[in-house]
Amino acid sequence: MKKRVVLLLTILFIFSLAFAEGNEKRKIKADDLFNFKRLGQFNFSPDGKWIAYVITVMDKEENKSNSDIWMISSQGGTPIRLTNHEKGDGSPAWSPDGKFLAFLSSRKEKNQIWLFNTTGGEPYHLTEMSNGVSNFIWSPDSTKLAFIAKDPEPKEEGEKKKEKKKKSDVIVVNRLQHKRDRDGYLDDKRNHIWLISVEGGEPKKLTDGQYDEGSISFSPDGKEILFASNRTENPDANRNTDIWAINIESGKISQITTDEGPDSNPSWSHNGQSIAYLKRSNPVYGTTFLWKIPAQRGEPVKLTGMLDRNVRSKPLWSGDDKHIYFILEDSGNVYLCYIPSSGGKIERVIAGERTIGNPVISPDGKYLAFTVGDFLSPPELYISDVKGGELKKLTSLNDEIISKLKLSQPENIHYKSFDGQEIEGWVMKPIDFQPGKKYPMIVRAHGGPNSQYRTSFSHDFQLLAAEGYVVLFTNPRGSSGYGEPFGRAIWADWGNKDLKDVVAGIDYVIKQGYVDPERLGIYGWSYGGIMTNYAITRTNRFKAAVSGAGEGDYFSCYGYDDLHLWWEEELGLPWDNFELYRKISPIKDVKKVKTPTLFMCGQFDYRCPLPQSEQMYLSLKRLGLETELIIYPGQSHGIRRLDFQLDRINRVMKWFNKHLKPEK
């Protein structure tokens, strides 16, 4: 009997060890990039019982991502897959009568509108636009869909078609806005509003001219469509976007808003009497406020003017039109809020240390669906009542992979900069942190510059912490979540106060005693790359740097990138303000660089063009410094090819490991 008990205990012990090993959490790896799923657009069914949503998965072997549409009960339960195609499907939207589910798909190469008949059957395509469809909306009576599409290529037959094949590939440009990142060089074809019957047929073009339309919204009676457009004499020369309405029957277009500046995201109240929209106070570092205007025109009212924070979503009217819901950016968090449509106090529906995104409201006005994410969890789909009661989690796309990983919880810090200004940041300690030990630290600089780090999950940051680095990321002046004066503090003065804010954060963390001040690195992309260029030209504290898609010589940026309006608004015309362009260009001080620096950029990046990285690279190479230039073929500002994303992660890690970790 005693031997049996011993044997049983031994077996249980072995099983417990095996169970523990099987459930032991591991460090995150670079390849885990392919294990995370992304939640895309989602919408309620007309009866509010279902939510259709998009899941994007990445396939390492095929080197591509794929998006499909799923559906889940708004009460929770087992999700149902609606599409399973090798091409990308997205933007699901039910017809108001519930008979159809429309979505965009690239099954015909370019994105087109496809329809599911909810009574059954295979989906079929509704549109055949030669340049694809960018977005669409249903008419209130479910008989039509309005959509945005670029002017199609002319249809040519017979001899003309043969002649076209012989034409030169020479690119002819005559626009002021002559290029755009990802789009390349621009022709004279514009994005206009089209209307098509749910039964198919030839779509009707509603707008025309040398203007681009967007942000479309049907009136409740279905007679008009709201849209945002810059219809000034030369739209490429300014950012004065207004809200307009077109009468579908007559084609008459009327102007709703007339103030200067960018107006966007119009949304009609259910009773058709008011229009809510967003307006940015300044195109560069301004705050985006929620506004309201009578549908029959009149004086607009700024609803969120009492709070100098950005509204980050299209306004959502409550079922009774008494409140308007929206996403509000504040500090590093993003909240779901509402405000009385007549004006009043802003109430936070869903707050806390997290990021809320993409809210939609149920047709009966009783529920809200939205994403919730934080530092340890990628966004998942949630639902609550409109007062923000109990949050019900509907999806668990990444729970399995997250449960296997040892993650670092960032610590929120607030510190004083050189002039007393309080700055917010976060510190991630290494996964195997040991008190009393000093670690290398990598500073991550965000893009923008009028952007910010949010309370959201980052594979890159967690990977650095798993590799044994302290990670510091801050929101210095120029960041967007702290009010307009905070953002405008770097106006025409890049690399001064913002860099000093970052350096003050470094000093703050070093004082905590666990960072080796002789092993500091810095890495950023876009304006983060620019900040890196400032860091290496203005201080020698960093022992390694990675500048991704940065810029160094602003005079040569003008006309080569796609941001001529930004340069003119902030720095003026380069030939009028040459000294200012020169003064704040990092390359001016390139002789001071001592830091080994890795430069990276996409071959066809038109936002922060490759020659900018080439100039910085060649300058350091000529000075005899250790440097490399990595060029990703065919890529624009955002590196989209999956193998290139993985390559970038591994090269960054290899660079920092080489320079910040002592040889064993």
Report the range of poorest mean pLDDT among 84-88, 370-374, 487-491, 566-570: 84-88
What pLDDT was estimated at residue 14? 43
DSSP secondary structure of 579-597: HHHHHT-GGGGGGG--S-E
pLDDT in tens, 165-217: 566 789 999 999 999 999 999 999 999 999 999 999 999 999 999 999 999 99
Asked if the model's pLDDT at residue 17 lies above 90, the reply is: no
Q: Please give the model's pTM, rounded to 2 decimal places.
A: 0.94
- Look at residue 561 and tell me if it is in a domain: yes
DSSP string computed for 323-336: EEEEEEEETTEEEE
Structural domain contains residue 584: yes
H helices present in 595-641, as ranges: 610-622
How far is the CA of 439 from the CAs of 114, 300, 366, in angstroms? 54, 55, 51
Report d(CA 633, CA 602) in Å as an integer: 6
Over residues 123-137, mean pLDDT = 96
Residue 162 has pLDDT above 60, yes or no: no
Within its chain, how far is the Cα of 292 from the centroid?
Answer: 26
21: pLDDT strictly greater than 90: no
C-alpha to C-alpha distance for 523 and 120, rounded to whole angstroms: 51
Burial (CB count within 10 angstroms: exposed 0-12, middle 13-18, buried 19+), residue 4: exposed
Residues paired with residue 265 on neighbouring β-strands, in sequence order: none
CA–CA dist 61, 646 (Å, integer): 13
pLDDT tens-digit series, residues 525-572:
999 999 999 999 999 999 999 999 999 999 999 999 999 999 999 999
Note the pLDDT of residue 90. 97
pLDDT band at 82 (very low <50, low <70, confident <90, very high): very high
Q: Assign residue 366 a region (left: φ > 0; alpha: ψ between -120 and 50; beta: otherwise).
A: alpha
Q: Domain of residue 89: give its range.
A: 38-154+184-210
Q: Are 509 and 441 in contact (CB under 8 A)?
A: yes
Residues 623 and 659: their CA atoms lie apart, in Å, by: 19
Q: What angle do CA 101, 105, 109 make, to 5 degrees?
A: 155
In a domain, 199, yes or no: yes
Q: Please report whether residue 131 resides in a domain.
A: yes
Average pLDDT value for residue range 262-282: 97
| The amino acid at 143 | T
- At 121, is the pLDDT very low, low, confident or very high (cuts 50, 70, 90)? confident
- CATH number of the domain encompassing residue 596: 3.40.50.1820
- Residue 256 inside a domain? The answer is no
Residue 20 pLDDT = 43
Residue 290 lies in a domain: no
Per-residue pLDDT for 22 more than 60? no
Number of domains the chain contains: 2
- What CATH number has the domain bearing residue 204? 2.120.10.30
- Per-residue pLDDT of 289-309, as tens digits, reads 999 999 988 899 999 999 999
Tokens at 493, concatenated? 């003065």
Largest CA distance in the chain: 97
Within a domain: residue 11? Answer: no
DSSP state of 155: P
Is the residue at 28 inside a domain?
no
Alpha carbon dihedral 9, 11, 15, 18, in 10-degree steps, equals: 110
Q: 260-270 burial string, b = 16+ CB within 10 Å, else e? A: ebbbbbbbbbe
Residue 664 has what pLDDT?
A: 53
Q: What gap in Å lies between CA 351 and CA 334, rounded to an integer?
A: 8
Residue with tokens 């469809």: 133
Q: Above pLDDT 70, what percent of the chain?
A: 94
Residue 654 phi/psi, 5-degree rounding, is -65, -40
